[in-house]
Chains A and B, each alone.
Chain A
């Protein structure tokens, strides 16, 4: 069946089966492969995108359920060539290693900061507990989100906790 939606500002459409997952529509019909699949039980969060402004796990949404929706994927997060503060935070604070959980983690964190631009460490940790990371132990991810929050609020981000950055 036909399905249409707006993805990263562009109107898109495709012919899908009713059971086609949104994540597969994004990756294989639209060839936006930044959104990743890490499990099939809606647990790991690597597939997180924004659907009508809210973070959702696109592996547990059928493409047809997104009919008419506005979707933002990781590819659409930066605007006018400038990284989103969360993307910048992940780069500045070593918030990623293999990068596989990263797009979903960034989308979740961006949504968190939209709702709560000044979260405590605890609020960050609970806010992203639906996104699994196996590489970082989350320490630097939390620091990256704190950095991003500060930038969003127009404040000086906290210094890194390693030796002087070059």
Chain B
């Protein structure tokens, strides 16, 4: 009997049949009897006092059941946040508003049209106050954003000072000293990493039902973190977590914006108890820019110092990161994630400072990459500028400064160690597969014709797989939501009496194919065909320890736990099989839907027989308890550190500034791969979002704090016609951090791509003297840069 390993196999997704036939259930699809609908009245101004709030007319409108304002919910306190540095968001505006789109009143009505009509009829008068939008102005503290905070700077992250207990050395003096050297080449660029709107295609939705008899809530939400939401609802409403069941059914994309806990989720749960009806709220796309977190939003100055031979002597970043008005979940912690990869793939001292400031805008928090795209962007753009300055090839300058394979695990100045890396091997592979030499030749030929062709190179290392238990000491847990577990992984595996298997995990997927992937992990371990393995996630009642999905952690942490649970099952099942086959447990091999004695494949027993025996105690060997189920947690000793290098070929239209992306090549390394098809899909999507930032997207507030890009007409996501095919390749450098040697891949594509595109555009325009263009590189901006350089 041949053994087919499903690890590394591109198994078709079991998630697909329902989704391609329209039978997958997303939260807004739920329409229980007696359902009431919610609409919010939201602030049209960025900052002001509410001088009057008239709800009496709205209350009398057709279908309206209730209208709630701050007075009704003040006793619940503000929205809890895991990292509560800054001003927490009141569930409904508390006499003042602090960003356009802030929820002021909540209408509950019999249908969504009636709810919206009533929300529109609510009369609010404001005393408009000055809005602080500009980041430099905010950081100067000329005008306070919030009266009760002494400073607009909530927190400052420094490379050496972010965790006092580590006793890290401040490397800034080293970098400064290097800058004084005679042979020092210093390049500096001021750059913006602009605010983005995540735009998951499924708008957020939450529905709650309260059972008065049991005193329990059943809440369906479009969330990446069901357990955190259960804890948050329990905390705000003052009930036991065990009385709150949260279920995430199908979730239509998240990218970090659904890794959060929102005031609307708390309010909907509360309203379902107040009103004794199921209550549902579904976001509209236009309101999303005021009701769902934004990403990024940094300005900063990056400096690289090196020798003219290309050796890096040091790197500095001085940046300001926009937190928005209110703190939610991980808001202030996002730049810290970038801090850990401040030095990228390079061995050099780092001086790094990011000030987190409040402004009168929507809250920012995790959006695909969460701090790492920002950090890598500044580093890789300044490296590119340095390469241009000394006239060195961008691949060569990077190779000259990479950590070498024999140096891993490589401890960086921030106190963390890169687990494994073959940075140069990935670059060499990229040079080969992209035909880089040929491409440079074609660029020469194009330039001779006056065409503006550019080649951009961008490397990255990413930090993911959160995470080590010790990080709970600096806030990496759900402790603020009453769930003190650190971000361990966990997995339950059960072989059922009929020989099929059930796997329960605490992840919160939004399209990453966890059901397929976990079936492969368990199928590979036990030899049960993947079709006979069912994987469940998203229901807090099934799984006590779920952390959710974010930070590309699921495979490296929860996958590792499931792998561990599988091993435990295997050990016990081997004893059962050995008993049935009158052999020794060490000689048992699992494959092809059963077990056999090593070397004697016909001495075999099917899984159904092993399972049957497991549930019939009298058939078991002495001392073995019946049942065949295991649960394991996994606490990694380190994060994991995927890496890669990307390359983009662009052409800029000299007349219009339009940028055409001609080719995109990527070599990414996430260690071992369970399902290559799924991993490739994650890289495609990640790259598309990086390209989105580089070329198209910009979440813009004007000086009065008006949101100018609140609909898809003004906030252009890339369409199919805007993107090329992606040429993906892989190197495999496993990690020791978990037994499967996997690192995670969900965000890597995004972390590797934005700077790659900008490097390409700058390369195209280097003959004109252009040194930098801020993202997004829209035609007008590119055209302007060309004109300015010509002068």
Contact = CB atoms under 8 A, between A and B. Distances in A.
A5 to B, nearest CB: 18
Nearest to A75: B22
B203 A75 contact: no
A97 B512 contact: yes
A136 B689 CA distance: 10
A17 to B, nearest CB: 7
Interface stretch (A27-35, A50-58, A62-70, A149-157): A27-35
Interface stretch (B66-74, B356-364, B717-725): B717-725
B253 interface: yes
B684 A98 contact: no
B685 A97 contact: yes
A91 B13 CA distance: 7
A22 interface: no
26 contacts: A31-B31, A32-B22, A33-B28, A34-B23, A36-B252, A37-B282, A38-B203, A38-B252, A40-B286, A41-B286, A41-B711, A83-B21, A91-B16, A97-B511, A98-B201, A98-B202, A100-B26, A125-B720, A125-B721, A129-B719, A140-B681, A164-B9, A164-B10, A165-B677, A166-B6, A166-B9
A146 B353 CA distance: 49
Nearest to B8: A163
B89 to A, nearest CB: 25
B19 interface: yes
Contacts of B783: none
Interface in B17-42: 17-26, 28-29, 31
A166 B203 CA distance: 34
B513 interface: yes
A133 interface: yes
Nearest to A104: B201
A39 interface: yes
Given A39-B285, A98-B253, A101-B201, 19 more contacts: A17-B113, A39-B711, A44-B285, A46-B201, A74-B20, A75-B21, A75-B23, A90-B20, A91-B13, A96-B16, A99-B24, A100-B253, A135-B201, A135-B253, A137-B685, A137-B726, A140-B681, A163-B8, A166-B6
A41 B285 contact: yes
A12 interface: no
Contact of A94 (B18, B252, B677): B677
B689 A134 contact: yes
A11 interface: no
Contacts of A20: 113
Contacts, number: 203
Contact of B720 (A36, A138, A161): A138
A111 interface: no
A102 B685 contact: no
B88 to A, nearest CB: 29
Interface string B218-229: 000000000000
A164 B510 CA distance: 25
B20 A106 contact: yes
A124 interface: yes
Contacts of A96: 16, 19-20, 511
Nearest to B287: A40
- Which of A97, A128, A142 has the most B CB atoms < 10 Å from its CB? A97
A131 B720 CA distance: 8
B113 A33 contact: no
Given A78-B21, A132-B712, A165-B677, A139 B725 contact: yes
Contact of A97 (B11, B513, B711, B722): B513
Contacts of B720: 124-126, 128-129, 131, 133, 138, 141-142
Contact of A133 (B201, B282, B680): B201
B726 A102 contact: no
Contacts of A125: 719-721, 723
B201 A137 contact: no
Given A41-B712, A126-B721, A100 B202 contact: yes
Contacts of B469: none
B6 A43 contact: no
Contacts of A163: 8-10, 676-677
A102 B19 contact: yes
Contacts of A19: 113
B558 interface: no
B7 to A, nearest CB: 11
B678 A43 contact: no
- Which of B678, B680, B711 has the most A CB atoms < 10 Å from its CB? B680
Contacts of A78: 21
Given A39-B712, A40-B286, A100-B201, A33 B25 contact: yes
Interface in A60-118: 73-75, 77-78, 83, 87, 90-92, 94, 96-103, 106
A73 B112 CA distance: 22
B509 to A, nearest CB: 9
B10 A165 contact: yes
B429 interface: no
B284 interface: yes
A134 B20 contact: no
A91 B18 CA distance: 10
- Which of A27, A121, A137, A140 has the most B CB atoms < 10 Å from its CB? A137
B250 interface: yes
Contacts of A14: none
Contacts of B784: none
B681 A97 contact: yes
A136 B13 contact: no
Nearest to A145: B720
Contacts of A39: 285, 711-712
B687 A137 contact: yes
Interface in B672-693: 676-678, 680-681, 684-689
B713 A43 contact: yes
A56 B355 CA distance: 48
B199 A134 contact: yes
Nearest to A132: B717
A34 B252 CA distance: 12
Interface in B275-329: 282, 284-286
A100 B252 contact: yes
A140 B21 CA distance: 18
| Shortest Cβ-Cβ A-B pairs, 6 listed | A34-B22, A100-B252, A98-B511, A99-B19, A137-B688, A97-B511
B140 interface: no
A52 B283 CA distance: 30
A46 to B, nearest CB: 6
B338 to A, nearest CB: 22
A116 B686 CA distance: 31
B251 interface: yes
B676 A38 contact: no
A92 B17 CA distance: 11
Given A36-B202, A39-B712, A166-B4, A160 B31 contact: no
A137 B21 contact: no
A97 B509 CA distance: 10
Contact of B12 (A92, A129, A142): A92
A48 B434 CA distance: 38
A98 B16 contact: no
Contacts of A77: 21
B50 interface: no
A90 to B, nearest CB: 5
